[in-house]
Structure 1
Amino acid sequence: MIVRKLPGGKLLCIHQTSHALMAHDFCRHWGNRDFARPEPNSIVLAAIAQHDNGWTQWEQHPALNDDGSPMDFLHGPDGVEKIALWQRGVDHAYAQHPYMAVLVGRHASLLYGEDSSSSTVAFVARQQQLLTDMRQQFAGDPEMSAAFGDAAVVANTRILQFGDSASLQVVIPWAESRTFADCPIDSSGATVAIKMRIEGDAVTFSPWPFDVAAFAVNIHGRLLSQQQFAHEREYHAALQAAPIRTLRWSVVREL
């Protein structure tokens, strides 16, 4: 859950899965004369759109913080449960395509790779084993064999990270600008830093990695008029009754 504070003391509660869809929207036009399109394109984009699907079950019954405020992904759940959510997401992605699972698992491994807890160490090891196994399974498929190569996996994971970070940057938001290091130019290891700027509802990137001059992104959530609840039943009922609010941005190329 992402919880965005709005004027007047209201909260916009946004599902991680909705954020993941907007992460996809930030990447769906990736590729032009200067930036290679991710391949296999439809599978990479599906992985981006589904990268937080492990949260689906949790978000059907979201938790509260100790002070009664809605819990967001930055404050919970605890490490063991969160790793279990990620593994569930990898499993769901695998059911669609194993390459999606590899990208989701690698993304999570990079997020939590410095955590030395036993659950995280075991999770990271499972993701590496999955990659090894899938390389063997797809060894006879030239397209997928290339996609499972080290450089291609790194490049496609970095595009997922770009979409994830860009979506969070506008939704939370943390700052009016951010530089994303190591954005892939191609699948051979070449990278460049891309600077993102946000001015109101306009977003720009430089250099421009997309194949169109402009596009739109949006995200929706449930608008709550109170910030704290006595218990989760009250919170869940309020979410169910809350109106839907949609936020929109225009992504435009700098002149």
Structure 2
Amino acid sequence: MIVNATPNGWQVIYHRAHALLAAELAGQWRRKDAPVRLYATLAAISHHDDLEKEWEEDILTEAGVPKDFTLSSNNDVGSTVEKLAELANNARYRGRWVALLISMHISRLNESKRGQAPEMDKFLDEQLENQQHWRKELGIKKEDVDAAYAFMQWCDRLSLILCQQELPEDERFLEISKGPEGQRYDIMQRSDNLVVVKPWPFENDKFTVNVEACDISQVKFESSTELTQALQEAPIKVLEWTFVKS
């Protein structure tokens, strides 16, 4: 989950909500420049964080505060591989294209762990083999697959910038990432709170997206169970951003 401090406690955005925001942003992309299999790609974007099940996991730091996803450190390689395999296998129910993009996402996030344990190496090798197999079965060029995954990464990164409150002050630009065509994109929030992306990649000249966040008015917790209950009972705040072309 994504955790932001507030004056009275915490703002928590579930990872699946962040993924839905990423899909909303993807849906705004200029149609003529959209990646292949756009709707299946949107499905991959909206489900790429289905691995996260906050209400069922240890979501508390040793200090007793909500654990932001950047602080997560699961040292149990076997458990990590099992969870990643579940995400990869579940993606196959939505079709090979969704499975392919999510597998590529798993590879990108976990290749740095290669060499830590035999089971992780085996799992990573399987992902690469699956990706090659699915590309061949689908009859799609590698460059088209890479472009679609770059699009997925771009939307994921933009959603994280918004959810993690990373928009700079004083109308300064921040790099998002390179898009599916290799173009660099930057984001800026104007003094009137409208958001600008340059160059403009979207279909419409103005649109609004949102995400739901839990507003917790408690700083510390005794257990993950207590925090889970607080999250389930917390008021929901809708966070909105309006994007404009200039």
> TM class by shorter-chain length?
0.7 to 0.9
**Aligned-pair CA distance for 1:29:** 2.1
**Partner of residue 72, structure 2:** 76
Q: Structure 1 CA distance, aligned partners of 2:184 and 2:212?
A: 29
Corresponding letter in the other structure for 1:195: D
RMSD: 2.0
Alpha carbons 2:35, 2:180 under 8 Å: kept: no
Task: Give CA deviations for 1:6-56 in whole Å, capped at 9, x if unaligned.
Answer: 2x23211111000000001111122356xx211111101110111101113
Contact 2:21 2:210 (8 Å CA) reproduced: yes
Q: In the superposition, relative to structure 1, how do residues 13 and 169 fare at CA in structure 2: closer, same or farther (>3 Å)? A: same
Alignment partner of 1:193 is 2:192 = no
Q: Percent identity?
A: 25
Q: How far apart are residue 120 of structure 1 and its match?
A: 4.2
Contact persistence 1:30–1:210 (CA under 8 A): yes
The reply on whether 1:64 has 2:60 as its aligned counterpart is yes
Q: Distance in 2 between matches of 1:27 and 1:198?
A: 19
Gaps of 5+ in 1: 139-143, 186-190
* Alignment gaps of 5+ in structure 2: none
CA pair 108-202 structure 1, distance change in 2 beyond 3 A: farther
Is 1:182 matched up with 2:173?
Answer: no
3-state secondary structure, aligned to 1:227? coil
Calculate the TM-score normalised by the size of structure 2: 0.88
Aligned residues: 237
Amino acid at match of 1:127: Q
Matches within 5 A, 1:16-55: 16-32=15-31, 36-55=33-52
CA distance in 2, matches of 1:31, 1:229: 45
- Give the Cα separation in 2 of the matches to 1:64 and 1:105: 28
Give 1:210's aligned residue: 202
Encode CA deviations 1:191-236: one digit per residue, 9 max, x unaligned: 2111111347422111111111111111112111112101122212
TM-score (norm 1): 0.85
- Alignment correspondent of 1:166: 158
